[in-house]
Amino acid sequence: MIRTTPRAAATTTAAATRHALHGPLIAALAALGLGVAAFSAAAQESATEASASEGEEVITSHGYSYFGELAYPADYEHFDFVNPDAPKGGSLVVASSGTFDSLNPYSRKGRAGALTTVQYDQRIETVEDQVGEYYCVLCESIEYAESKDWVIFHMRPEATFWDGTPVTAEDVVYSHTLFITQGLPSYAQAVDRMVDSAEALDEHTVKFTFNPEESKRSRIETVGSTPVFSKDWFEEDPENRRLDEPRMEVAVGSGPYKLDSYEVNRRISYTRREDYWGADLPFNAGRNNYDEIRVEYFADQTASFEAFKAGEYLFRVESDPRLWATSYDFPKVQNGTVVTEEIPDGSPPNPTGFVFNLAKPQFEDKRVREAIALAFNFEWSNESLRYGLYESRSSFVEGTHVEAEGTPDGRPSWNSSSRWAMSSPRNC
């Protein structure tokens, strides 16, 4: 991560141009000639000069962390949780319950097939062993103001869709517009308020400017972690290729896997792309190892579990505490063919519980909410209904490196804080 603190706008311009020359401009100079590269540099220089206020830091990085510094440096070779020399090949067979009638996972209509998103890369993506951290994939670096008023993504010139066409800044802007105009309403409305503009500064540079009246929370990761679609593919048949409609035609992607075959309501098969542009990225080292990922469909969870016992698929994540406690003693477990193991994956546990609707007047008083919480007998319900497998949750990021521990220095303890809260009925 590089931080620059300009003394004036002119210094900001020079710093931003220097950073940009370490990104896509080197490739542009070689591939497109000095004239185009000079235009690109001028565009980025103008953009940064107009965006950065006097004395504001401009941060250039290989990713973004919601909580501060990234755990992995810019020159990381692979993530700690992978084997970079893992062999490639074979098939992974998993299960899904129910049915599917669409291969478009971004529409509310229809039921999308499982794992369809593996076909699409994003500019920045999360990593399994860190919370709130995003690392560059389609982009090679990001540049943003300390105020988070804007962000610039420097795209990788080598990134391509599976039809061989390059992933460009125009594709990024088009995809953003597509999500705003045809995406899920909850996302579209929130992001439309958040983003003032999205513009392609050149073929490989895209800038998002944010609405200063909206919250600064989650700005960069929200616009950066959406998939990028091929503008050309959608515009070939705009009537039938919509983001808000179910379809069995798959949009061209840039990800490591591609749809191979499917039988509606029975199975979907994806194959690893031998020509995947990002195979050698540090982000992908030791990952995407299976030649095939196949999803077998079953009518319900009961049928799915019976199929697993019969060896119809290879890997199962058990979410039913009753089954985990009482049903994993079948012959394939006893003879070692099926291995059962509890594996902490480093991610916060999925929340399960009761949530108060604070729009209701009866829940405005914090003492009422606390009394209800104290009345709930977690120990009894856990032993009687959950086979003792659950734990009472103490943090939204429990079990991760960002979970708060102990009492903060200079702050009251929980007991004294609780007594103070009891005397403040509307305290939240």
Q: What is the pLDDT along the chain (428 residues), one digit of tens a residue?
A: 666 554 333 323 233 333 333 333 333 323 333 333 333 444 454 445 444 555 689 999 999 999 889 999 999 999 999 999 999 999 999 999 999 999 999 999 999 999 999 999 999 999 988 989 999 999 999 999 999 999 999 999 999 999 999 999 999 999 999 999 999 998 999 999 999 999 999 999 999 999 999 999 999 999 999 999 999 999 999 999 999 999 999 999 999 999 999 999 999 999 999 999 999 999 999 999 999 999 999 999 999 999 999 999 999 999 899 999 999 999 999 999 999 999 877 677 777 788 899 999 999 999 999 999 999 999 999 999 999 988 888 888 887 778 888 877 765 554 443 333 333 333 33
- Shared domain check, 166 and 49: yes
Do residue 125 and residue 111 come from a single domain?
A: no
DSSP state of 54: T
The total number of residues written for the chain in this structure: 428
Give the separation between CA 175 and CA 159, rounded to whole angstroms: 16
Residues 136 and 219 in one domain: yes
Which residues, at least 6 apart from 81, have a Cβ–Cβ distance to it below 8 Å?
128, 129, 346
Question: Does any domain span residue 114?
Answer: yes
Greatest C-alpha distance within the chain: 73
Domain coverage including residue 367: 361-422
The amino acid that residue 301 corresponds to is: Q
The pTM of the full predicted model, rounded to 2 decimals, is 0.80
CATH label of the domain that carries residue 263: 3.40.190.10
Q: Do 125 and 221 have their domain in common?
A: yes
Claim to verify: residue 48 and residue 113 sit in the same structural domain: no
**Based on the domain organization, do 109 and 64 belong to the same domain?**
no
Q: For the chain, how many structural domains are there in total? A: 3
The answer on 126 and 112 residing in a single domain is: no
The 3-state DSSP composition of the chain as helix, strand, coil percent (nearest 5) reads 30, 20, 50
- Strands 58-61, 139-145: pairing is antiparallel
**Residues 177 and 298 grouped into a single domain:** no
